[in-house]
Chains A and B, each alone.
Chain A
Amino acid sequence: MDDVIRLDGTGLHYGHGLPVLQDLNLVLPRGAFRWLVGPSGAGKTSLLRLLTLAVRPSAGRLSLLGVAIERAPRAALPALRRQIGAVYQDFRLLPHLSAFDNVALPLRLAGRPEGQLRADVGEMLRWVGLSGRADALPAELSGGEQQRVAIARAVIVRPALLLADEPTGNLDGAQADRLMQLLSELNRLGTTIIVATHNVGLVARHPARTLSLHDGRLMEGAA
């Protein structure tokens, strides 16, 4: 049960196409931190889609937070998704909701009463430096601000597993380091984190073990 992620011969292909992920084997315990690196097209985004339950594995076994995904009924997945935070390259914010409401969305889906969530969302927006932009729609925010909203939305529920795809791509150096402080704090509190990045400098400044993807195959490396 302490294994947050367990991949056992896991593979993925879309439709009848060639496999994009092959024979993945990985065990990540609670509180692990990994950089996910690899060239473009290696399958990083597909692996993150697999781990955010956007797709189910085509082969092998996948266990997340103790739940065997290949056998889990569809109705069991929403509760699991609420324990997984994700930051996407394209942010995936709801364009008709304000920054506040985008960040509050996971709490509302979890059934948190309105009166209780406001303080948490306000605090989170303050932390990512957007307390003055709570009412702004995504279209009124810069790329960096949208990315910070996406990050705030991913971590507001203190997920057991956090997956981030190039989360610093639109942030300046100071903001990126501030984000890494937040991720470190979450990691220290027990959240398992995988961050996909091309940013070699960021990896160098925050050393951790790496997962390398090449041609759909995964290798785990040292820090």
Chain B
Amino acid sequence: MVATLRPRRADDLGLRRALSGFMLPVLVGAMALLAALAGTGGLEAAGMAARWRTGGTRIVTVQVPDPAAPAGAVTRADSVASVLGPAARRLAEAELSDVLRPWLGDDSARLPMALPAVFTLPGDPPPGLDRRLDQAAPGTLVMQGVVWQARLGELAASLQDCAGAVLLVVACVAASIVALATGAGLSARRDAVEIVHGLGATDGMIAARFAGRIAVLAAGGAVAGTLLAIPVLIGLARLTVSFAPPAAPMLLPAGTWWLLAGLPPAAGLIGWLTAQATVRRWLARLP
């Protein structure tokens, strides 16, 4: 007789049936998908902001008009090159033509005017560069991307904040979904809850049954949502490869994998905590 009875793991409140619908896992899965996208966007924005702010992508551009004209014993271009030092790189004529093609077309080499020489120097400009270049070749222009890089850095930081806000909203929506599902479960099992409460079950016992079941459903939904997010994120990473640092990994950065791995436990924890709070608040009405 005893061998045919239910397994040791109890479901006294019948929650496997009361909380068996697909709605909760599907909705939590959708929230996990959104969280994966927002979180990854936030991580990428943080990386870009850091790179732009720390000078990893800063370049000083030096433009030398009339580069072949003499400046002492050498040309103006050579004079500027000696001031800039070996870190500077002069753009080849082909590169310069590519840069100017939108304005000058394909025939920039045959124009009746001399194109300026263009040098790029990584990092921030050394102190006094303007003065020394003006002495070496008067009229030389120094252009820094600092202002734009700072603005891009601010843009990336604001994107990061937006991603954080989206994550917060997603967590709140997930908690609301869990609260509604828990409320529905309580309504469906109201009599059972009142009976076990009358038999001496503590609020903690009853809340733990609901919270355990809800946490499993929420974490399961989040696993599905996270798995769905992976191909989407890989596709987006390929589309935005030009924004990635030179040593970017083939698929997704390590931080993104950690984020994705953390989503199901986070969803389970949100589910567990919300269900605990919802059930305990409901039980507080009983004597």
Residues of A within 8 A of B (CB): 52-56, 74-75, 77-82, 86, 92-98, 100-101, 105-106, 108-110, 114, 118, 122, 131, 134-135, 153
Contacts and interface: CB of A to CB of B under 8 A. Distances in A.
Contact of B199 (A74, A106, A114): A106
A104 B124 CA distance: 77
Interface in B186-218: 191-192, 195-203, 205
Contacts of A114: 8
B151 interface: no
A78 B201 contact: yes
B5 interface: yes
A98 B192 CA distance: 14
27 contacts: A53-B198, A53-B287, A54-B287, A74-B287, A75-B202, A75-B203, A78-B201, A80-B200, A92-B195, A94-B192, A94-B196, A95-B14, A96-B17, A97-B6, A97-B12, A98-B5, A101-B5, A101-B12, A105-B12, A106-B199, A109-B196, A109-B200, A109-B201, A109-B205, A118-B2, A135-B1, A135-B4
Chain B: number of interface residues, binned into ranges: 20 to 34
Nearest to A74: B287
A151 to B, nearest CB: 14
Given A78-B201, A96-B192, 11 more contacts: A52-B198, A74-B287, A78-B202, A81-B199, A94-B196, A96-B11, A97-B6, A101-B12, A105-B196, A109-B199, A110-B200
A155 B265 CA distance: 43
A24 B53 CA distance: 79
Interface string B157-170: 00000000000000
Contact of A81 (B1, B12, B191, B198): B198
Contacts of B14: 94-97
B247 interface: no
Contacts of B195: 92-94
B37 to A, nearest CB: 40
Contacts of B10: 108
A8 B198 CA distance: 24
Nearest to B287: A56
Nearest to B11: A96
A96 B12 CA distance: 8
A108 B287 contact: no
A110 B12 CA distance: 14
B200 A82 contact: yes
B281 to A, nearest CB: 13
Contacts of B200: 78-82, 106, 109-110
Of the listed residues B8, B14, B199, the one surrounded by the most CB atoms of chain A closer than 10 A to its CB is B199
B12 A131 contact: no
Contacts of A52: 198
Given A118-B2, A134-B5, A82 B199 contact: yes
B10 to A, nearest CB: 6
B6 A101 contact: yes
A82 B205 CA distance: 14
Nearest to A91: B195
B43 to A, nearest CB: 44
Given A53-B287, A108-B10, A122 B199 contact: no
A135 B8 CA distance: 15
B5 A100 contact: yes
A77 to B, nearest CB: 7
Contacts of A109: 196, 199-201, 205
Contacts of A118: 2, 5
Contacts of A86: 198
Nearest to A50: B287
3 nearest A-B pairs in the assembled complex, by CB-CB distance: A82-B200, A96-B14, A81-B200
A108 B169 CA distance: 40
Interface string B29-69: 00000000000000000000000000000000000000000
